[in-house]
Amino acid sequence: MCALLTGVPGAHAEEPGSAPELQVNQRLLDERIDQLAQVGDGGAKAAPNAPVTGGSFPRSFIIPGTDTSIRIGGEVRLSVDYITQGGGNNINAVPTNTLGVAGLLESTPLNNGDSNHSRSSFVFFSPRESRIRIETRTPTALGEAGTVFEFDALGGVASAQDPAQIANSLILRMRHGYATLGPFLVGQTSNWLFDGESHSETLDFGGDPYLGPDRQPLIRFTAPLPGIAGAVYAFELNQPDTDVHTAVGKFDSVNSVAFPGVVNFPAGVGTLNPVGGASINPAKGGFPDGIAGLQFDQPWMHLRLGAVLRDLEIADGRFIQKSFIGYGGGVQGWFAMPWLGEKDQLQYGFGDGVGIGRQISGSTNSALDTNYGAFPITSLAAANRVIYKPIDEWAAWVGYTHRWSPDLRSNVSFGQRHEDYHAQLIGAAQSGVADKNLTTAHANLIWSPVAFADVGVEYLWGQRQVVNNQRGNLSSILTRFRMRF
C-alpha cells in the first residue's frame, strides 16, 4: 500500500509492478533500523565474495554493502498494426501505435471528401513502447526512501534518415522520474487523477478517455485515513499551465520556439509585440494545479475519488489581464465479478469539470476558448472585444476483463470525451478542427504462454466529431508481442 500511495502503479496500470502492504514495509523498516543500530555508525560493509541477497520488494536484490534494494526491469514490445480506416496522411508519419485518446484519433480525417480520406489504410511495425525501469527502496528512520526511473523509446527518431529505409534509431524519453520519502513523492509521474487500476488493458497505447493528464512534474503527500482500513487520502500540486483554444488554434503557456514542433502564435492577429512585431501568445501559467483525493481498497473492490482546482491566467503584457478558476473531479474504480469468472472485473470511471482542460486525457482539449486571434489588437478598445469562457468537459469509460484460463484473457472497453466549445468564439475555421467528441471501443484477446510474455490481438474503433458536427472514423487491428524482464 505504501508504494501505491506514492505513485507505483497497480495491476491494471500501463507500468509493470505492484505495491506491498504498508504493514509489511513498516515491519521490514523496523527490523532494518534495529540491524543498523547493532552495526554502529560505521555501517554495514560488504564481505569479500558476499552473495547477492533478495531485496525488500518482489524481484529486487540488496546492493552489497548497502541497505538499498534495487530492481531493474522493463519489457520489449513489437506492435504490428493494420489501420483499416482513418489513417490519412499519418501514413507518412513516424510509426507509433498511440491510436486512441491523445493519438491518431484526434487527427483522423473527417468524412467530408478530404483527399486524406483515400489514404486511410496502411500497416506499420513499431518497437517504440519498449521500456526499461530502475527502482530502488531504502529503509530510513523517516520512512522508506525510494526512487523510480522509467524510459521508453517514444522520444522520436535520432537522425533525419527515414527509419523504414535505414536504421530505426530511436530516442529514449523519460516517462517516470521521482523520489519518495515516507508519505512524500517529488518528481514526474502520473498524477492522482489518473488511476491505472480503473482501466481495462488495451494493446492500443492511447486507450480510452480517462481522467488525469499525461505524466506531470508534481509534489504529493499521502497517508492512511484514520479509522478506516484500506483507505488513504492525498494532496498534490501539479505543474501549472493554462490551455486555451483561440480563433487560430490551441495554445498553452509553454508554447515557444524553445520547443521544437510546437506551433507558435501566428503573426498579424492578437496583440502585437512592439519588439520584433510578432503576436503574443496570451496563455500564462498561474499557481500549480491543486488536487485532493481519497482511495478505498478491499479484496472485492477499488475506489478512487479526486478533485482539482486550477489557476488559469491570460495576459498579453499590454492590454489584457484576466484569471479564471477551473475545477472538477471524478470517481473511478473496479468491482470483482466472481460469479462470471474467478478473476473477472468491471472497471469504470467518470470525470467532469469546468475549465478542467488537460486534467482530462488528450492533446486537443482545452480549459478555455476565446475569440483572441480573430483580429489584431493594437488598442484597449480592441482588447475589450476579446472574450474568454471556461469550457465544460467530461470523460466516461467502462470496461470488463474476463479470464478464459490462467494464460488467456480478454478485455472489452468503451469510452467518450466531450467538450462544450463556444463555436461563436473560436469561429468557423476552428469549429472544423476542435474535437467536440472522441469515442473509442476496444476488444482484445491476450495469450500468455509464460508468465512474463504475452501475444495479443485487438480491434479498435474510434470516432472523432468536431464542433461543426463533422465526423471521422478510425478502425484498426492491432497486435502486440511483449516480453517482460
pLDDT in tens, 365-411: 999 999 999 999 989 999 999 999 999 999 999 999 999 999 999 99
Residue 13 has pLDDT above 70, yes or no: no
Q: Which three cell numbers stand for residue 452?
A: 512474463
Contacts of 15 (CB under 8 A, 6+ apart): 8, 9, 133, 150, 175, 176, 196
Which domains occur in the chain, in start order? 2-44+54-484 (2.40.160.10)
Nearest to 392 by CA among 426, 361, 356: 356
Q: What burial class does residue 48 get, using C-beta atoms within 10 Å of its C-beta: 0-12 exposed, 13-18 middle, 19+ buried?
A: exposed
| pLDDT of res. 253 | 85
DSSP type of residue 48:
T
Tell how many helices (H) and how many strands (E) occur in the chain.
Answer: 4, 25
| pLDDT of res. 300 | 96
Contact between residue 19 and residue 59 where contact means Cβ atoms under 8 Å apart: no
Range in 20-29, 174-183, 214-223, 458-467 with the lowest mean pLDDT: 20-29
Contact between residue 129 and residue 205 where contact means Cβ atoms under 8 Å apart: yes
Residue 460 has pLDDT above 70, yes or no: yes
Range in 261-270, 303-312, 355-364, 413-422 with the lowest mean pLDDT: 261-270
Locate cell 487491428: which residue? 477
Share of the chain above pLDDT 70, in %: 81
* Single-letter amino acid code for the residue at 400: Y
DSSP type of residue 197:
G
The mean per-residue pLDDT over the stretch 437-446 comes to: 98
Average pLDDT, the chain: 86
The mean per-residue pLDDT over the stretch 156-162 comes to: 72
Residue 184 has pLDDT above 60, yes or no: yes
Q: Which three cell numbers stand for residue 45?
A: 560493509
Tell which wins on pLDDT, 316 or 214: 316
Sign of CA dihedral 62, 153, 434, 310: positive
CA dihedral 258, 262, 263, 267 (to 10 degrees): -10
Rounded CA separation 370/380 (Å) = 17
Contact between residue 253 and residue 262 where contact means Cβ atoms under 8 Å apart: no
Residue 99 has pLDDT above 50, yes or no: yes
The mean per-residue pLDDT over the stretch 443-471 comes to: 97
pLDDT tens figures, 44-89: 455 556 666 889 999 999 999 899 999 999 999 999 999 998 887 6
The mean per-residue pLDDT over the stretch 227-256 comes to: 91
| pLDDT of res. 1 | 42
Rounded CA separation 298/315 (Å) = 47
Q: Please, which pLDDT band fits residue 267 given cuts at 50, 70 and 90?
A: confident
Q: If DSSP codes are grouped into helix, strand and coil, which group holds residue 282?
A: coil
| pLDDT of res. 50 | 62
